[in-house]
Structure 1
Amino acid sequence: MVYGKFVCWIKMAEKDFQLWMEAISGPGASIQESQKAYGKWARTYEQDAEKYRFNNHIKVAEILQDLFQENQRDKIRILDIGAGTGLVAKELKKYGFRHIDALEPSEAMADEARKFNLYENYFLEFITGSPSSISANTYDVLTGGGIYAKEAHVPCEAVHEMIRLVKPGGFVVLVANLDLIRASKNYTDLEPLMEKLEMEGKWKRVLRETWIARSVENKTIERIAWCFNVL
C-alpha cells in the first residue's frame, strides 16, 4: 500500500514537472510568458527543485570549491546569472563564498532569495549579447546553473556579455541539462561559439564534463558543466 502511494506521488511529480517545463520553455513560449510562469512558480520552486532533482547548483559549487582555496573564498566576487530563488548562492555559502550578486529577470524569484539575504546586489535583468547595466571586469566568477532550456531562456550570444563582466583571469562556470540543449534549435551554435571565442583568445576552457543523472520516475538526464578561464 505504501509502495503504491509512492509510485502515485512520483507520477504526479512527473506530471507537475512537465506542466512547469511547458510553461517556462515549451514550444513557442515567449520570454514574457516564461517569466510570468516563473513568477507563479517562485513560492514553491525550491521544494519542487528538490522533488524534481534539480541539482545543477551543487555542481556549480563543487567546481568553485576546486578553483579556490578556502582562505581565498571570502574575497571572491561572484555574479550568479539566472539566480532564481538563490539555490546557487545557498550552496556557495556552505563553502565560504560570501560576495555574491544576482542577475535575475523575475522579481518574484528574486524576492524569494531576498528573504534569506542570499545576495548583496540584485540586478533585475535578462542577460543577452548586449551589455547589461553592470560595468565590465566587475567579477572574479560568473555562474549559471540551469540557464538554458528549449525556449525563452538565455541566448547563445550571451557568452559575450559573460566574458565582458568577468575580470581577466576570472572564471565562467555553467551547468545545464544537455538534453534540453540538444532538443533546442536555439543552441545549435552554443558550443561552436564557445570554441570560436577560445580560438580568438577571449577565454580558455578548463573543464567540459558530462554525466548521467536521475530525475523523477527514475528517468535518466544527461547534464553538462563548462568552466572557462577569461583571458
Structure 2
Amino acid sequence: MESDNPLLKRAYALDGDAGRIRDLYADWAASYDADTLDGMGYVAPVLAARALSEALEGETAEARILDAGCGTGLVGAEIARRTEAEIDGIDLSPGMLEEAARKKVYRSLAEADMTATLNLSDNSYDGVVSVGVFTSGHVGPEAIDELARVARPGAPLVVTVHEKVWEPDRYAAHLAEMERHGLIRLRAINDAPYHEKEGYTCKLCLLEAA
C-alpha cells in the first residue's frame, strides 16, 4: 500500500543526500509523532524497545543505550518506560533532536551523520537500537558496522530494516558478512509490522556485538 502522506512520500523518495534529509525532517519534526503514530500506525518503536529491553536481561539499571537515528525520541520514550537505562540519542536532523529533547528521557543528544564514522568510542554502550533509519534513501547496511563498533562485546543491537530495502540493498548478505568477520552474532531476524495503517512491514533484527 502506498501512503497518501506527502512527507512520507518525500521520505521514501530520498537518495541519501544529507541536505535533503535535513530539509525533510525540519519540515516534519513538529507533526512527526502525530503523523506516524496516529496516521500511519507506526509500531516499530514499541516493538524495538521491547526487544532491546528483553535482551538486556536485568542489566537495565546501569545500562548505557545508544538510540541511533533517534528522531523525535519515540524509541527512547519507550525504552524509558521499560528500563532505568541511561539513553544517548544521535540524529542527522537538528529539528528532530529538538523534539526528542522535549521528551526528557535522554542523557545526551547530538547531531551525527550515520553514513560516516561516529564520534563515539569503541565498546561504549551496553545496547544499541536503531529504528526508522534503514529505509529508502536514508542509510545503508554499512552503517550497522559502526553500531557494532560502539557496542561492548555481548551487547544487544536491535535494528529495523524497511521491507522496501531489505533485499535490494542486500541487508541479509551484509549481516552475514559482518558475522563472518567476527563483528556480530545473528540472534534473530523476524518479520514485524512497521506502519500498520500503510501496510508496511520490516525486518526486526536482533544482533549481538562480538
What TM-score comes out, normalization by structure 1 length?
Answer: 0.83
Aligned to 1:181: 165
1:60 pairs with 6, 23, 48, which one?
48
Identify the range of structure 1 (137-146 vs 59-68) with the bigger mean alpha-carbon deviation: 59-68
Deviations 1:103-133 (A, max 9, x none): 11101100011112121111201112x4211
Contact kept in structure 2, 1:23 and 1:34, CA below 8 Å? no
Alignment of 1:17-32 (within 5 A): 17=5, 19-26=6-13, 28=15, 30-32=17-19
Structural mapping, 1:85-104, within 5 Å: 85-104=72-91
C-alpha contact 1:76 1:140 (8 A) present in aligned 2: yes
Which is further off, 205-214 or 99-108? 205-214
1:80 is matched with 67
Could you tell me how far 1:21 is from its partner in structure 2?
2.2
Q: Is the 8 A contact 1:23 1:29 kept in 2?
A: no
| Equivalence map 1:219-230=2 (5 Å) | 219-230=198-209
> Residue 71 of structure 2: SS of its match in structure 1?
coil
Large movers: runs of 4+ above 6 Å: none
Does residue 115 of the first structure (1) align with residue 99 of the second (2)? no
> Aligned residues: percent identity?
20
CA distance, structure 2, for counterparts of residue 162 and residue 103 of structure 1: 12
| Aligned-partner Cα distance in 1 for 2:14–2:30 | 25
Structure 1 vs Structure 2 CA RMSD: 2.0
Q: CA deviation at 1:182?
A: 4.4
Give the structure with higher Rg (CA).
1
- Could you say what secondary structure the match of 2:24 adopts? helix
Query: 1:207 is matched with which residue: 181, 188, 204?
Result: 188
Q: TM-score, normalised by structure 2?
A: 0.90
Aligned residues: 208
Paired residue for 2:131, among 110, 128, 145?
145
- Runs of at least 5 residues in structure 1 that lack an aligned partner in the other structure: 1-13
Query: Taking structure 1 as reference, are residues 135 and 146 closer, same or farther at Cα in structure 2, changes over 3 Å only?
Result: same
Deviation larger for 81-90 or 115-124: 115-124
Higher relative contact order (CA 8 A, sep 6+): 2
Greater helix percent: which structure?
1
